[in-house]
Structure 1
Amino acid sequence: MRVVDRVSEWITRERPIERKLLGAGFLCLATAGAGSGWTVETTILGRHVKFSPFPQMPEILSWILVVVGSTAILAGILIGVRRYFHDRADHDSKAVLVIEQRGLRDTTDTPLVGAVPRSVKGRRQALTVDIRDRIKDGVVTDPETALDRVSALPRMIEPYRNGKGSSDMVVAYGGLSPVPFTFLAGVLLDDESQIVALDWDRTSEAWRQLNADDDGDSFEVTGIEQIPLGTTEVVVAVSVSYLVDPGAISKSRPSSPIVELKLPRRFPDNHWSETKQQRLAKQFLETMIRIADSGVATIHLFLAAQNSVVFRLGRVYDKRNLPRILVYQYQKGRAVEHPWSIEMPVQDIGKAAVVQSLPGVN
């Protein structure tokens, strides 16, 4: 199906003007040549046959086609050369910073930098945030050290700017990293004006753009109307790929009211639409604002979503005006499945992200 889609996209894609001119020019020359009266000689059933496959056109019309075709070809070549040098200058003046978070899977044989689409203009510069040595069998063994590496993202980006304005730098982001670190990356990069997100396709084992059709699904939001008056701490459970288990949440936050955002159809490949992700992010932000307006001071966030979705939610979280937020790590098989969280660097200027472990949980 994806092959058919790509062929259809190639057939219907918009061609640049120079290609149209070249095509029209060669068509004119071919037509002039066909109508010039050339003949074909062959032998059919032992008889010598001589015929002209095309009717001969008037000489003046043939010359007009030659002039028009030659002019179109020359114009196409000149425009193409001009476009080449313009694109080259534009490419050299812009930078594409490719940020890859590595944590849950080794993607060194298929680095993200090689998957950034050619439509994103600029010199590719790869920046990797690797915390795989702090993860064993899917369990984060040293969240504090991993946090230090992710928190350094703004400092790591600065040298790549090299005096460039926001319009001269594009960030391409992708990763396979635990939820709290992915959300944190989104919070830290929310001020970047141009971001292209990719995600890892586990089926094809390759990086993929968010260019699928929108299936129309939106979050079903429940629990927000039931927040008791005067509540200062609320749990928010976001279920995109899988269902966040309320029983697991209750072991970490036994007395907090729960607001749920659930997709009606949850599965690992329901996130490949850019339009859909934008809609989900808008719903998420609107829900956070409603919670803040109710007087809540702290949000405990439990997420089951794909990397690009988690990153987007981190980007849209308004770190200047929304409440304090802690994002929890899920570790299946533990007595307490969400043993620690990262408190995001929001509200206070200069505040750093902090790992918060639950009391009595190792």
Structure 2
Amino acid sequence: MGFGSFIVNSIIVIVFIVGMVFTIKFFFANKKEQSISTVLITSGLSLTVSSFGNTWTNINRLFATIILSGSPNDAIEINSAFSQTQWVQLIVGIVLMVAGGYLLYFAKNKLFILNINAYYDKRIESNNKDIGLSTFEFKEREIDLVRNYKNGITANTIKEVVEIIEEKTRSFRLESKDFKRGYTGIAPIPFVMLTGTYLQREKINEYFEFDRIQTEEFYKLKNRKKYPALQIDKSLNEINANAEEFVIAVSLTKRITQEQMKQFKNAEKVELYLKNPKDNAIRHKTQLFEYAQKIGEIIEEISASTSCKKVHLLISSQSSLALEIGKRIDNQRMAEITCYFFDIKQDSNYPWGIIMNGENKGEFIER
């Protein structure tokens, strides 16, 4: 065996060993796309390198002839068939490497989308064209609460819902930790906010909302920065600092009225609202984050500067805002927060809620 052949064979062996190590690693990490892409790249690289095997041998022979004969012309004549590259093998190898690289790129940039459904089953997988994603570009992980919700809301129902949300959200966190994340959901606001509490300090890269009023399609929140400011009905200096219970009403889609809040008659009320509330008011990610941050800061300031022991949180908005607020809820710096469900058919428009923090987190509250 010539020195050139030795080099080629050594490279092939090294490529094969490294490729198999990464293939096995990805396989046991349940990363099937990365495992397949590694096999393709390894196979393609091995074929590509070995397709030059005869050429390397001839180059070795050429230099040996020059050294021994001292005549370049004689060497050229002896190696008249110098280039014997296996072109079919080379092309197949390149195609495999390109295919493997393409698959690896999408595997590394795959978007894991958390979808919370309670009212009915609405998945992005069957509506992916709305948001311009191919089914190869994302994986959808659903928290399916439709059956629980249809069975009626009781203490037992909520206990089961809380367990499902915690388990499914923690699983989503682990599975998607090395990837980009997305969120969508059509579910009661307390369910969504509770989910957010299990995603603290976790970044959500993309938000998808379902426009059920106009287009009946999903849309993605953009990165634009022009949007209306979130208003507050009174400064925090004007509130009753001795109050032990506060209602914080957040109105983006519809303005929450005083009549709807009558069941909280003994609580101090603070309203956060848009001057022109409307369905799908949130269209931009910066808008979402700013609103959620402002609401979180107000809850924290009320908790710290008053005698507040309980916060009753009422939200008229898209579910993405509830999720982001949930991510900001704190056990130490905030009073006990209960997020409520709105039902216009009930005498008490907020008949039930779920505690979001503290030692009673997940507890069902019925009013």
SS in 1 for 2:160: helix
Counterpart of 2:164 (choices 141, 152, 169) is: 152
1:234-256 Cα shifts (integer Å, max 9, x gaps): 110110110112212122x1111
Task: Return the offset for 1:281.
Answer: 1.6
Matched pairs, number: 272
SS state at 1:171 partner: strand
Change (3 A) 1:171 1:116: farther
Instruction: Give the unaligned 5+ runs of structure 2.
Output: 1-93
Q: Does 1:92 align with 2:107?
A: yes
CA distance in 1, matches of 2:323, 2:349: 22
Q: What corresponds to 2:116 in structure 1?
A: 101
**Structure 2 counterpart of 1:98, which letter?**
I
Q: How does 1:106-125 map to 2 (within 5 A)?
A: 106-107=121-122, 111=126, 118=133, 124-125=138-139
RMSD: 3.4
1:356 aligns with 365
Equivalence for 1:133: 147
Q: Which residue of 1 aligns with 2:253?
A: 241
Say which SS state the counterpart of residue 191 (structure 2) adopts. helix
Out of 178-187 and 150-159, give the one that drifted further: 150-159
Q: Mark the CA change 1:172 to 1:212 in structure 2 (over 3 Å): closer, same or farther.
A: closer
Shift, 1:357, TM fit? 0.8
Contact 2:118/2:186 (<8 A) preserved: yes
Offset from partner CA, 1:293-312 (integer Å, 9 cap, x none)? 21322211111111222222
Distance 1:159 1:262 in 2: 35
Q: Counterpart of 1:280?
A: 291
Please state how far the C-alpha of 1:226 moved relative to its aligned partner.
Answer: 2.6
Residue 319 of structure 1 and its aligned partner are, at CA, apart by: 4.0
Which has the larger helix fraction? Answer: 2
CA deviation after TM superposition for structure 1 residue 258, in Å: 0.2
CA contact (8 A) 1:98 1:112 kept: no
Q: 1:294 to 1:275 in 2, by over 3 A?
A: same
Corresponding letter in the other structure for 2:289: Q
CA distance change for structure 1 residues 258 and 250 in 2, over 3 Å: closer, same or farther? same
Paired residues of 1:134 and 1:143 also in contact (CA < 8 A): no
1:90 touches 1:122 (CA, 8 Å); kept in 2?
A: no
The alignment status of 1:187 with 2:202, answered yes or no, reads no
SS in 1 for 2:338: strand
How far apart in 1 are the matches of 2:204 and 2:104? 20
In structure 1, runs of 5+ residues without a counterpart are: 1-78
Specify the code of the residue in structure 2 equivalent to 1:190: Q
Deviations 1:18-71 (A, max 9, x none): xxxxxxxxxxxxxxxxxxxxxxxxxxxxxxxxxxxxxxxxxxxxxxxxxxxxxx
Closer, same or farther in 2 for the Cα pair 1:80/1:258, shift >3 Å? Answer: farther
2:209 alignment partner, SS class:
strand
Cross-structure match for 1:65: none
Shift in Å at residue 200 of structure 1? 0.4
CA-to-aligned-CA distance 1:256-303 (integer Å, 9 cap, x gap)? 110110111101032111121122122212212221221322211111
Matched with 2:87 is none
Aligned residue identity for 2:364: V
Deviation sequence 1:327-348 (CA, Å, 0-9, x none):
111111211111111111x244
Identity %: 18
Instruction: Tell me the TM-score normalised to structure 1 length.
Output: 0.65
How far off its partner does 1:80 sit?
Answer: 11
Contact 2:116 2:185 in 1 (8 A): yes
Mapped partners of 1:143, 1:306: distance in 2: 25
Aligned pair in 2 of structure 1 residues 287, 108: CA closer, same or farther (>3 Å)? closer
1:210 aligns with 2:221: yes
Alignment partner, residue 46 of structure 1 = none
1:321/1:347 contact within 8 Å kept: no
Q: Secondary structure at the match of 1:309?
A: helix
Correspondence for 2:302: 291
Q: Is the 8 A contact 1:161 1:169 kept in 2?
A: no
Question: C-alpha offsets along residues 150-204 of structure 1, whole Å, 9 cap, x if unaligned?
Answer: 5433422555666x683x1333211111111111112222232344221101222
- Give the distance between the partners of 1:229 and 1:311, measured in 2 at CA: 28
1 CA distance for matches of 2:259 and 2:302? 22
8 Å contact kept, 1:129–1:149: no
